[in-house]
Amino acid sequence: MRHAIYRLTTILTVLFTITFGFCEGMLYELDTVTSGTSPAGTSPWITATFSDAGSGKVNLDLSSANLSGAGYISLWYFNFDPVENINDLVFTRTDAGSITTPTISTSTDGYTLTGTGYFDIEFNFSTDFKGGNTMTYEISSLVSLTPSMFYFTDTTGNLQTEAEIQKIQGNNSGTIGAPAPEPKTYLMMATMIAFLMFIRHLKEKKEQNNII
């Protein structure tokens, strides 16, 4: 069963989308070591951005801009809205880079790096996704997708995405992740969104009165 934080993040995201009329994207910064050796480079070592591609599709941009040394990304995990059918997702690579195309697998709560938190989507890379590289995918499905559908945590509720880095300081490895916001952060977001919706309501009411 999904952690209750899943529902909270979804509600907040939907409210945000309604308030502004769109949802530009979700940026994940993997800046926390979750196990093993810390990678070389500057935190956040790698980032992932889900953005609206139009026509019910989503772009996923993967970047290892701050990863350095011989380390490379071997595995990278993400989550998806548990209400939707994850097996309907289609991943199409759209960049013209020379990095080996990874194997992508999907299974609800089917993947884990540390044996605790489980994820839904697995990117299994070769050995050439090293520092300073990027990769882009277009994601489609039978339903219309939005970036918020990928804004979920692992089964512990602690991480929104996690990756494994190999060849750190020789043959060492480590895992890094993007921690989920603290509950107080959600409360602040909810308060801000409620305030913005109230302001929008007043503005619309004023415009209606002017028309009359």
Express each pLDDT in 24-36 by its tens digit.
678 999 999 999 9
Question: Residue 180: pLDDT band by 50, 70, 90 thresholds?
Answer: confident
What pLDDT score does 22 carry?
Answer: 41
Inside any domain, residue 161 = yes
Q: Is residue 211 part of a domain?
A: no
Question: How far apart are the C-alpha atoms of 61 and 74, rounded to whole Å?
Answer: 16
CATH number at residue 175: 2.60.40
The 10s digit of each residue's pLDDT in 100-139 is 999 999 999 999 998 889 999 999 999 999 999 999 999 9
Report DSSP letters for 64-106, one per residue: -TTB-TT-EEEEEEE---TTS-GGG-EEEE-----SPPPEEEE
**How many domains are there within the chain?**
1
- What domain range is 104 assigned to? 23-180
Pick the residue with more confidence: 188 or 72? Answer: 72
**Which tops the pLDDT comparison, 93 or 15?**
93
In whole angstroms, give the CA distance from residue 184 to residue 95: 38
Asked whether residue 171 is assigned to any structural domain, the reply reads: yes
List the strands of the sheet with 134-140, edge to edge: 25-30, 46-54, 57-63, 134-140, 90-93
Type and span of the H or E element at 11: helix 4-20
Chain-centroid distance of CA 176 in Å reads: 14
Note whether residue 40 is domain-resident.
yes
Question: Amino acid letter at 82?
Answer: P
Q: How far apart are CA 19 and CA 112, in angstroms?
A: 35
Token output for 118: 């489980």
Residue 180's identity, in one-letter code, is A
**pLDDT averaged over every residue in the chain:** 85
Q: How far apart are the C-alpha atoms of 94 and 136, rounded to whole Å?
A: 6
pLDDT band with cut points at 50, 70 and 90 for residue 21? very low
Residues 129, 72 contacting (CB under 8 angstroms): yes
The model carries a pTM of: 0.79
Q: Could you count the other beta carbons within 10 Å of the beta carbon of residue 87?
A: 10
Domain membership of residue 136 (yes or no) is yes
Q: List, as one string, the DSSP characters of 20-66.
A: HS---EEEEEE-EEEEEPPPSB-SS-EEEEEEEEETTEEEEEEE-TT
Confidence of residue 199 (pLDDT cuts 50, 70, 90): confident
- Does 202 reside within a domain? no
**Would you state the structure tokens that stand for residue 32, as one six-digit string?**
């926390």
**Does residue 207 fall inside a structural domain?**
no
Q: What is the DSSP string of 149-170?
A: GG----TTSSEEEEEEEEEETT
- The whole-angstrom separation of Cα 179 and Cα 160 is 6
**Is 164 domain-assigned?**
yes
CA distance 139 to 104: 12
